[in-house]
A and B are shown apart, each in its own frame.
Chain A
Amino acid sequence: MYVRHSPVRFHLADDVLVLVGDLRWSITHTSLSQEEKEYKLSKARERQWRAYSLPPGVSVEEMEEIWNQLDFGGKQRRLEELPETYSGDSGPGSPSTPPSSVEEKESTFDPSFFAPPSKNVELLRELSTKGKADMVLMSEMAKGRPKLIWGEPEAYIDQVESDGMPTETEVVEALGNRYEEATPVD
């Protein structure tokens, strides 16, 4: 920590008051009771919580089934498609450990995750519905038309020698080494 290029750091009892350049800050531990801290924490969680909107025509009960089938990114599907000999990171040929299936997965569904859609969400749903008709119309109009190319990309040059700048390969290698050094190990 520096103030006008001179190192500075000092502590005051349980508080930490640090002066850095033209910014001062204090870090203080409150002496509230456990109950008061629990209450403040729960209120903070409530303020940060954003419930999902229920999709149209779906009840909370039906949502549980949808929730349990969600597979964003296809991770679960890929696991299920792996051969039975798959054993995770231990490599091929090692003792088989079948991946967990959807049925085995414990449900994390909580009805409190969901709330009826707000007026804003309802408006967005209307716009999306209108967009569907326009998308169909646009694709109908585009049928049979030749592909339109507005410009050709510039030739990609990896080697920049004229101005003494490093090449892409050199830059990527240099950055890669730096981040490998900074990567936590163990």
Chain B
Amino acid sequence: MRSQLDCHDPRLPGTGVFDLKTRAALPVRMDIMNYKQHSTYLIRALQGRLESFEREYHDLMRSAFLKYSFQARIGNMDGILVAHHNTARIFGFRYIPLTEMDACLFGGEDRGEAVFEKCVLLLEEILMDAIGTFPDQVRFKRRTVAPFLLTLYKKTIRCLFETRGDELDVFVEPEDHEESKGPRPIVHIVVQSTSYIDGNHTDSESAVAKPGACT
């Protein structure tokens, strides 16, 4: 894994590295083919359902903070600096530290690290399994610097992930396939997970909320 490092300021804690994000306003995101018309959409207020920083922040939490926080963790960053704009005008900048994103996502500043570690572990397992489904499609070698870093050559598999209820469906297909050989083969992988606290089954929210439970 790698994460591009955009900026650095020695006044920030830790490494002092942070990421720079441009964030288009709501209508530009929702109606991208009509972005020119939306270049006059205004953020007029701090709060409100529309035309407000509150709405922009709400959407950030729901659709962007998880990926931003993962990216920041991969790059050992302190946070992100978001520039809100409508493609023609910048409305303002906001610095969001990783701890704030964790609090918004998981209800506590100290909970994101465990979630990140578990997600990466599970993703590694799924990807290793997916690679094994079409061994003639993928050639890889292990590097000594990072045991799970794979260098893929020439051929590719494609995966579609979808969470439904408590299950994660993964559909794996070879990217290259000759139609003369019949339909493109598909492997359907189902991933299920269960959380425990002190050996007792619990829901994932409680597991994440319990200090030290996911260590």
Q: Which residues of A contact B (CB under 8 A)?
A: 1, 16, 18, 20-30, 32, 34, 37-38, 40-41, 44-45, 47-48, 52-56, 63, 66, 114, 117, 120-121, 123-125, 127-129, 131-132, 134-135, 154, 156-158, 160, 165, 167-168, 171-172, 175-176, 179, 181-186
Contacts and interface: CB of A to CB of B under 8 A. Distances in A.
Interface in B113-147: 118, 121-122, 125-126, 129, 133, 143, 145-146
B25 to A, nearest CB: 9
Interface in B168-209: 169, 171, 173, 183, 185-197, 207
Contact of A56 (B34, B50, B162, B195): B34
Contacts of A135: 40, 42, 89
B161 to A, nearest CB: 9
Given A127-B50, A131-B42, A22 B214 contact: yes
B125 A124 contact: no
B1 A182 contact: yes
A135 B171 CA distance: 48
A102 to B, nearest CB: 18
A128 B38 contact: yes
Contacts of B34: 53, 55-56, 125
A129 B40 CA distance: 7
Given A172-B8, A182-B1, A125 B129 contact: no
B141 to A, nearest CB: 9
A114 B121 CA distance: 38
Contact of A44 (B5, B41, B169, B195): B169
B31 interface: yes
Interface stretch (B10-18, B64-72, B92-100): B10-18
A29 B27 CA distance: 41
Contacts of B5: 172, 175-176, 179
B63 to A, nearest CB: 12
Given A56-B34, A179-B2, A128 B129 contact: no
Contacts of B150: 184
* Residue among A25, A114, A181 with most chain B CB within 10 A: A25
Nearest to A184: B151
Given A25-B125, A128-B27, A128-B41, A53 B33 contact: yes
A120 B30 contact: yes
Contacts of A120: 30
B22 interface: no
B10 A44 contact: no
B183 A23 contact: no
A30 B186 contact: no
Contact of A55 (B26, B33, B151): B33
Given A56-B34, A135-B42, A186-B153, A124 B26 contact: yes
Contacts of B129: 16, 27
A124 B30 contact: yes
A29 B183 contact: no
Contact of B10 (A41, A167, A183): A167
B10 A27 contact: no
A87 B8 CA distance: 36
